[in-house]
Structure 1
Amino acid sequence: MFRTRTILRCQRQLSRAYATAAPPHALVFLEHRQGVIDSGSLSALTAAEQLGGQVSALIIGGKDHVQDVVHTAKKLKGVTSVLHSSSPQYVHPLPETLSPLLESLLSKSSSFTHVVSATSSLAKSVLPRVAAKLDVPAISEVTSLSHDKASNSTTFTRPIYAGNAIATVRAPASIPVKFFTVRSTAFSPAQLQEGAEAEVVAVNPVQVNDPVTEHIKTTIAKSDRPDLGVATRVVSGGRALKNAETFEATLYPLADVLGAAVGASRAAVDAGYADNSLQVGQTGKVVAPELYMALGISGAIQHLAGMKDSKLIVAVNKDPDAPIFQVADVGLVADLFQVVPELVKKLKT
């Protein structure tokens, strides 16, 4: 009899806990450059919307660009509120100057249940830092997610072992704030929604005196070609391109005629054929274009992790046993120095 009463009491307590569980409220860190929101951040918004609750966007920067970004962000699909903070320290944000602001937001409001961002270099430094201070875990490179309202838990999937396995991770209700970054190629970018007008809230910056690091300069490679991270077509070259001059002379004409971005394997980057901003792979950029052409790339597991989700993979390599042919939709065993010029010629006619 005593046992029965105890069980019933627990059931009532659990029932009340689930009934009063706060619905998801995601805080999404929106990164931007010169007033234009990064595509990866737009994908993070889409992921946050899939939680099924409120979505607040956080925008930081200098006064000159923040207002332009806010004007765009408040009209994005799924956004319920836009938080913005301006400071000279946020013009070129650093983990040491941005983390205190995020900590302040999370400490002042208990409504945020998730903190979301694209898997960018800044976010990979900021989110784990703040999560550690709050003594909660952070999950990276999320490719799908679902939120269970009954148990107030969130389940994520993320690639592990260079993309050869998918891990399913469950964050229970006992974790008050769930931090995660998303793989931008796994979620479509959020779009502007006609008639949408989210609430806009100004947030006081948190000044950091004598930060331990200082921004010196940002060097951005300029190109008329599409950005590698969001391009629908990518032409990549490997070690077989011999040198930087041959890499450029062979790949660039093909990329230009296709309207494609240029990528490179780690071997090509390490050999100095291409800038490291063009590296595709586990330690480079992860891409998933409509067309991916791998020229002279053997297909090491680290490279495959960065491009194997492409819709159509075309590979050209002299080695019939090259691993790249295992994932290629179209494979040609041939000399790329004969194939590429002929292909360029055919495409121009």
Structure 2
Amino acid sequence: MVEHDAGQLNPVTAELITAARPLGAVSAVVVGGHAEELAPQLAQYGAVQVVNATAADYDARLITPEVDALHALGQANPAPIIIAADRTGNEIAGRLGARLASGVLANVSAIAADRSATLSIFGGSTEVTAQAHGNCPIYTVQPGAIEPSEAPAQAQIAPMPLPAATERDVQVVGFTAAEKSARPELGTAKTVVAGGRGVGDDFAGVVEPLADALSAAVGATRDVVDEGWYDPALQIGQTGVTVSPDLYIGLGISGAIQHTSGMQTSGTIVVVNQDQDEPFFQIADLGVVTDLHEFVPALIEELKKRA
């Protein structure tokens, strides 16, 4: 399923198409319009068909148009279904699994031609290969887990009118857009700076300046969110966002499994903490044992000199 924001393609879509190519010809499903303007970009990564799923009342509905579109396609032409592993995508996958009587593998990091997938279990401590049964096995793929690659194709656009809402649909009666940050999206960012309890409530003075110096996204641990120190939408971990950036910097984070399960597939992991016995150092590529409130400002100054 294509992830986009009013016609702006989300980078995770290229990853989804790349992951789907070993399974056969790829159909990219665009729900809610903008299929024609997105088709050239989707074809560049290997989509041979772009399904334009539209509904007149799309803006007044939640989740069900996407579920209806993928359900109808799965019934008409059974095939694997691949969705981004975010809150919305995992909910769509669960509903589809029930409707299509097919298995669901969530938060996978790779999909093979035999329909098996690689994923982590037990809070990220063990990596396994699993298979989902049914005519339409469903996968949600961790953003950042797959390196996108181009495979240019000729994409045909296929119109798909969706049914109108029923009494089961949630109706949107009011909408206030979230304020857009100038920083990268957390789930797809190539660099992430995250803060834990050791930062305290000083994210604006420590974490955010370092993130801005690196053009990075900002994340937080669950205990920080529970204390009300930072936005819950930016929580990383089992009950938050899963990230897999090229560079992950953790400031004042102990390394509880709740958090590490959501970021341990990152490329290079840097840990800054004054307690060298914290478990986070066990998965770090580089550990800095120091007072982060002294270290981070010095690091920012050095980055400015090299800019």
Give the aligned partner of residue 81 of structure 1. 49
Give the aligned partner of residue 60 of structure 1. 31
Q: Deviations over 1:218-261 (max 9, x none)?
A: 54342222222222221111112222xx2111122222222222
Aligned residue for 1:280, secondary structure, equals coil
Taking a change above 3 Å as real, the CA distance of residues 93 and 69 of structure 1, as seen in their structure-2 partners, is: farther
Aligned residue for 2:194, secondary structure, equals strand
Give the aligned partner of residue 251 of structure 1. 207
Give the aligned partner of residue 142 of structure 2. 183
Q: What is the identity, as a one-letter code, of the residue corresponding to 1:138?
A: V
Taking a change above 3 Å as real, the CA distance of residues 347 and 99 of structure 1, as seen in their structure-2 partners, is: closer
Give the aligned partner of residue 116 of structure 2. 155
8 A Cα contact 1:96 1:211, kept in partner: no
Give the aligned partner of residue 348 of structure 1. 304
Q: 2:104 aligns with which of 116, 138, 149?
A: 138
Give the aligned partner of residue 117 of structure 1. 83
CA distance in 1, matches of 2:195, 2:291: 13
Q: Quick check: 32-41 or 294-303, which moved more?
A: 32-41
State, as a whole percentage, how many aligned pairs show the same letter: 36
Q: 2:6 aligns with which of 34, 37, 52?
A: 34
Give the aligned partner of residue 189 of structure 2. 231
CA distance in 1, matches of 2:273, 2:109: 31
Q: 2:180 aligns with which of 222, 238, 241?
A: 222
Aligned residue for 1:157, secondary structure, equals strand
* Structure 1 residue 296 displacement after superposition: 0.7
Give the aligned partner of residue 24 of structure 1. none
CA distance in 2, matches of 1:70, 1:126: 23
Q: TM-score, normalised by structure 1?
A: 0.81
8 A Cα contact 1:66 1:86, kept in partner: no
Q: Deviations over 1:2-33 (max 9, x none)?
A: xxxxxxxxxxxxxxxxxxxxxxxxxxx11211
Runs of 4 or more consecutive aligned structure 1 residues displaced over 4 Å after TM superposition:
none
8 A Cα contact 2:192 2:217, kept in partner: yes
Give the aligned partner of residue 102 of structure 1. 70
Q: Flag the structure with larger Rg.
A: 1
* Structure 1 residue 201 displacement after superposition: 0.8
CA distance in 2, matches of 1:127, 1:89: 22
* Structure 1 residue 124 displacement after superposition: 1.5
8 A Cα contact 1:162 1:282, kept in partner: yes
Taking a change above 3 Å as real, the CA distance of residues 258 and 171 of structure 1, as seen in their structure-2 partners, is: closer
8 A Cα contact 1:89 1:97, kept in partner: no
CA distance in 1, matches of 2:71, 2:304: 55
* Structure 1 residue 327 displacement after superposition: 0.9
8 A Cα contact 2:102 2:132, kept in partner: no
Taking a change above 3 Å as real, the CA distance of residues 341 and 232 of structure 1, as seen in their structure-2 partners, is: same
User: How many aligned residue pairs are there?
Assistant: 304
Give the root-mean-square deviation of aligned CA atoms: 2.0
CA distance in 1, matches of 2:72, 2:221: 41
CA distance in 1, matches of 2:252, 2:187: 21
* Structure 1 residue 191 displacement after superposition: 4.0
> Is structure 2 residue 200 aligned with structure 1 residue 242?
yes
Q: What is the identity, as a one-letter code, of the residue corresponding to 1:38?
A: N
* Structure 1 residue 38 displacement after superposition: 1.9
Aligned residue for 2:117, secondary structure, equals strand
Aligned residue for 1:44, secondary structure, equals helix
CA distance in 2, matches of 1:123, 1:181: 7
8 A Cα contact 2:84 2:142, kept in partner: yes
Q: What is the identity, as a one-letter code, of the residue corresponding to 2:209?
A: P
Taking a change above 3 Å as real, the CA distance of residues 87 and 157 of structure 1, as seen in their structure-2 partners, is: same
Q: 2:165 aligns with which of 208, 212, 215?
A: 208
Unaligned regions of 5+ residues in structure 1, if any? 1-28, 149-153
Aligned residue for 1:143, secondary structure, equals strand
Give the aligned partner of residue 219 of structure 2. 263
Unaligned regions of 5+ residues in structure 2, if any? none
Q: TM-score, normalised by structure 2?
A: 0.91
Aligned residue for 2:144, secondary structure, equals helix
CA distance in 2, matches of 1:343, 1:242: 19
Give the aligned partner of residue 321 of structure 1. 277
CA distance in 1, matches of 2:186, 2:82: 23
Q: Deviations over 1:85-104 (max 9, x none)?
A: 22233336523343333332
Give the aligned partner of residue 295 of structure 1. 251
CA distance in 1, matches of 2:69, 2:187: 28
Give the aligned partner of residue 339 of structure 1. 295
Aligned residue for 1:284, secondary structure, equals coil
Taking a change above 3 Å as real, the CA distance of residues 184 and 56 of structure 1, as seen in their structure-2 partners, is: same
